Structure 1
Amino acid sequence: MKRKYIQKSILCLGLLAAMSCTDNFDEINSDPQGSTAEQLAQDFNNITGYSKVMFNFIFEQDPLWGYQIQQNLQGDVWSGYMATPNPFGSNNNNMTYNLVNGWNGRAWDDAYTNVMANALKIEHETKTKGLYPEIYAMSQILKVEAMHRITDIYGPIVYSKYSSESSVKEYDSQEQVYTQMFADLDEAIVTLSKAADSGESSIITKADFSKYGGSYSKWVKFANSLRLRLAMRLAVKAPAVAKEQAEKSISQKYGVMLTKDDSFVFLSDFTNPVYGNSNSYEDINMSADMESILVGYNDPRLSKYFAVSVKYPGEYKGIRTGIVLPVAPDGATKAARKDFSKVGEAINVKETVFLSTAEVFFLRAEGALRGWNMGSDVQSLYEAGITASFEQFGVSSSTYKTSTALPKAYVDPLDATNNAAAVNNVTVAWEAGASNEVKLQKIITQKWIAGFPDGQEAWTEWRRTGYPKLFPITNNTSNGVISSQLGVRRVNFVASEIAGNKDGVATGIAKLGGPDNGATRLWWDTGVNF
């Protein structure tokens, strides 16, 4: 991992003010290679450049170390997807709940300098000028996709007041952020549905770096599906709003994702950075939780997600997160476990799935479990989610959906103190007579498996539901701040903001509902499911 990186320059007041100083907008946005605004405007190049950056920084595609500290050493490990063989900071790090501020600000800084700033540039070139409403709508959906991840990391964020000329950038509460995001999706869906009704000849093609190729109707399906994801966050905290928004997604003319081709897939210039962090840096491996669940279930996706261990040929071997890892005096700190199972070839692609059809089926299954109108019954939607995931990864099984196999115990071949009995004790097979809690555990466990490798979303849903059950860490260095059983609930506000928008941060803390640390639950994180 590269330990130093250059701070991005700050314009006006702090990071968030960078795009609010609109008096010199054209100067700020001049092309560093010397192209004029008129030259860039040809073929929408001025807009497509902004759009491409937004796509690239939903999570950071390159360099690898940027992604590593933006997501890999937070959401990816806290979700139970992956674990590191590297005892960063002599085992005082995110994995042992001693949160590293120098890492955890990366997601925030990327979001505002690369996503929000470019969304505002697109707004200036489209909505402000009365041009290209479809491109503006697409940018709003991208903004929601990126920024719901940020509010789900930190809680209150600057969102609705981002472009304000005020010297203090006030934070929205998380409830306010979600309300505004639903409104942003509403506006985008109306615009793109109208365009789709008129035919699929699309002006957004050059600004669309997804597999959709500029299809208006597919972008509407994505927006509806994203609304469904956001609605589910509020299922307990604001159940009436959640039901309304979820059913609105299903009933809208173009509906939600139904086929493999409906999944929202970014076509990147870079191989998925998860693969590089595992196979180039050798800083990330399969987790003990993945081993316990996938091997226990004899899951056919196992060989797609991970490679067999070099250290233990023929075996899939994970690392338990938050244990004491050996710190070698010669600097070879990773040697003991770096040859456990690495991330597999299915992730060695220049594609990133931000929302899959499989996830949408599982969201609908949970909605049906809660009594919402999701267009089908719980079991059918649950099993459709499994089918969609299998299709996505090119696997099959005639017995998986009816399997009564259970996750297996974890055995650390190098240190028996890390061994643990299986904790996520549910089967794959649907049980009509089970409690709602058990049914939810099955749904979320399968959604967790299907969502790999996006650990950010998996960590968020784990915090919301408690599922799948994960092995607790054994080496807690948080000095009693963060519970080993409850895990990290959020990331504290970041240094760039405290330096450049201190009074704004104070508004965020006031709306947080607890101290600014990793133990404070977010607004939707209620600790109960029904």
Structure 2
Amino acid sequence: MNKIIKTTALAAFTAIAVSSCTNKFEEYNTDPFALRTEDPSVLIATMFEPLMYVQQNSSQMVDQMIGTYGGYFALNARWNGQNFDTFNISDNWAGSAYNRAFNTIYANYFKIEHITEGRGHYFAFAKLLKAVSMARVVDIHGPIPYSQVQDGDMTVAYDSAEDVYLHIIDDLKSSAEVLTNFVTSAPGYRPLAGSDPIYGGDYSAWAKFAESIIMRVAMRTENKEAFVDAMNSPIGYIMSNSDNALRDPKSMGNPYNIAGSIWNELRPASSLVSYMVGYNDGRADKWFTPAAAAWQAQYGKYVGMRRGNEILPGYDANRSKLTFKHEDLLPVFVAAESQFLLAEAALKGWISGDAKKFYENGIKLSFEQWGVASVDAYIANKTSIPAGHKEAAAAQNYDRKTQVKIAWTAESTIEKHLEQIITQKWIANYPLGLEAWADFRRTGYPELAPSVSNLSGGIITNVVRGARRVRYPYQEKDLNTENYQEALTLLGGADNEATDLFWAQK
């Protein structure tokens, strides 16, 4: 991979920064009301993208395409026969998440570090954004450079995935503490109010967000201590929909609207539609358009699309479409997820409390988030199960095997309760495809209809399990060869889409 910040450029910048920034250290970190000509908030403004991409091409290459592995979407274009949902992605596409995150985050992260001398609220906030962004990258690839990225040179040694997650937890924890202390010292002041498209510069909200991400990461990696510590933190976590981390796409518009409604390259996946139809889930009306009348008569109100589907002339217009609008906010973390994390923690015996209550709270929060009524009847439903998928092309049909129901019953096994938790968490986390894919790899839930086409050339041997990671950018093998080879040792397998991360269900 090309160096993100060239050594010579960094050296020149450092020389300038040392002479010009040291005298301003107190200004940047102590006096929040001081005027200044060199404002870290301008640098921070560019660092939000990797949390949830808004720029259409970035969103499509990362959240939408890789996100298809999470079972929410199917890709309605073949792009010269190379595609994520058929497991034959190009080398350029494979490196999209890695390259975009590293370029976007580190371009300004080190500038902020130099300006602030690595202290204070601006640096803490930049470190928070770095940690959350890299959590997504390690989820996708496995081991990545993290602790050794000190000077803007990306051609450095990789950390094991286990260590990356631990560093991320530490960085989030320390950032949350600094931001909380800043709010205490300067209540009501929001230095990032004009730069922050998620919380409008509310550091208290960001601190809760950080603790919530710790809970997510800790559950992923079976880190009970970190999970309990975050849950019990006096800072708090995202508990209500008013706390939700939602990104405003502003003038660029919601990228799912662009891909689904304007470009016609994204469709609701058959798996998501099948669960929603089987459960008679009112959120479906918010997410999908009805199928064409002729198909409704034969296959029901909503008809999704199988991943890896052959694009058949005349079929496309019949399927349901996505309903995202230009102005719709993009979820980054929602309160329902916190409750499902607590439900799983209670099921594991990590925490006291009623897993059933947390589970039902998660469903209620999701219904509230989407403005859907009749949640009590939904939660009490003891009979409905996910539907199968049927359409005109019989080869696309899928008979779902799971019998997972909605109502929580005492006689169910722990494994059945886990399937319930992850299934409802999956629905509630729509459209966070990367998070859904991580849970699917970790637990095996929910049951997803496999890709119709496997064009991996023998790499993916089990289409039900599907892709387990995405290979590294090809530049790493060429330009960071020694460290790349060591990364494969840390990974414990080949650099392809069939190798599991350490936390994945084997």
What is the CA–CA distance in structure 2 between the aligned matches of 1:57 and 1:468, rounded to whole Å?
26
What's the counterpart of residue 368 of structure 2?
391
What's the counterpart of residue 498 of structure 1?
477
What's the counterpart of residue 286 of structure 1?
268
What's the counterpart of residue 28 of structure 2?
none
What's the counterpart of residue 220 of structure 1?
207
| Percent pairwise identity | 32
Alignment of 1:37-186 (within 5 A): 46-62=39-55, 64-75=56-67, 77-90=68-81, 92-128=82-118, 133-164=120-151, 168-186=155-173
Deviation at 1:463, TM superposition (A): 0.7
**Which of 414, 425, 433 is equivalent to 2:403?**
425
SS of the equivalent of 2:39 reads: helix
Task: In structure 2, give the amino acid aligned to 1:86.
Answer: A
**Which of 351, 359, 362 is equivalent to 1:382?**
359
CA deviation string 1:399-451 (max 9, x = no partner) = 111113111111022x1122111233211111122111110111111111111
Q: Is 2:426 the counterpart of 1:454?
A: no
Q: Is 2:496 the counterpart of 1:517?
A: yes
Q: Is 2:402 the counterpart of 1:402?
A: no
What's the counterpart of residue 321 of structure 1?
307
SS of the equivalent of 2:372 reads: coil
Deviation at 1:53, TM superposition (A): 1.4
SS of the equivalent of 2:246 reads: strand
CA deviation string 1:339-390 (max 9, x = no partner) = 5212114x5435221111111111111011111126x310111111111111
> Contact 1:70 / 1:104 at 8 angstroms: preserved in 2?
no
SS of the equivalent of 1:354 reads: strand
Task: In structure 1, give the amino acid aligned to 2:264.
Answer: E
What's the counterpart of residue 354 of structure 1?
332
What is the CA–CA distance in structure 2 between the aligned matches of 1:27 and 1:308, rounded to whole Å?
61
Deviation at 1:395, TM superposition (A): 1.0
Deviation at 1:83, TM superposition (A): 0.6
Coordinate RMSD, CA, aligned: 2.5
Task: In structure 2, give the amino acid aligned to 1:200.
Answer: P
Task: In structure 2, give the amino acid aligned to 1:303.
Answer: D
SS of the equivalent of 1:244 reads: helix
> Contact 2:124 / 2:174 at 8 angstroms: preserved in 1?
yes
> Contact 1:250 / 1:256 at 8 angstroms: preserved in 2?
yes
Task: In structure 1, give the amino acid aligned to 2:355.
Answer: V
Task: In structure 2, give the amino acid aligned to 1:196.
Answer: V
Flag the structure with higher helix content.
Answer: 2
What is the CA–CA distance in structure 2 between the aligned matches of 1:17 and 1:135, rounded to whole Å?
20
Distance 1:18 1:67, change over 3 A: farther
The alignment covers a number of residue pairs equal to 483
What is the CA–CA distance in structure 2 between the aligned matches of 1:311 and 1:498, rounded to whole Å?
52
> Contact 1:83 / 1:287 at 8 angstroms: preserved in 2?
yes
SS of the equivalent of 2:331 reads: strand
Q: Is 2:196 the counterpart of 1:209?
A: yes
Gaps of 5+ in 1: 1-12, 30-40, 236-241, 327-332
SS of the equivalent of 1:95 reads: coil
> Contact 2:155 / 2:479 at 8 angstroms: preserved in 1?
no
SS of the equivalent of 2:85 reads: helix
What is the CA–CA distance in structure 2 between the aligned matches of 1:141 and 1:212, rounded to whole Å?
14
Task: In structure 2, give the amino acid aligned to 1:423.
Answer: K
Q: Is 2:3 the counterpart of 1:15?
A: yes
Q: Is 2:349 the counterpart of 1:371?
A: yes
What is the CA–CA distance in structure 2 between the aligned matches of 1:80 and 1:247, rounded to whole Å?
30
SS of the equivalent of 1:412 reads: coil
Q: TM-score by structure 1 length? A: 0.85
Deviation at 1:151, TM superposition (A): 0.5
Task: In structure 2, give the amino acid aligned to 1:308.
Answer: P
SS of the equivalent of 1:265 reads: strand
CA deviation string 1:307-342 (max 9, x = no partner) = 22347576211011123334xxxxxx7x53255212
Task: In structure 2, give the amino acid aligned to 1:79.
Answer: G
What is the CA–CA distance in structure 2 between the aligned matches of 1:114 and 1:19, rounded to whole Å?
17
Deviation at 1:497, TM superposition (A): 2.6
Q: TM-score by structure 2 length? A: 0.89
What's the counterpart of residue 233 of structure 1?
220
Task: In structure 2, give the amino acid aligned to 1:88.
Answer: W
CA deviation string 1:476-512 (max 9, x = no partner) = 1112211212100001111233343233322222211
Task: In structure 1, give the amino acid aligned to 2:275.
Answer: I
CA deviation string 1:254-292 (max 9, x = no partner) = 221111111112223232211211111101101110111
**Which of 280, 300, 318 is equivalent to 2:282?**
300
What's the counterpart of residue 248 of structure 1?
229
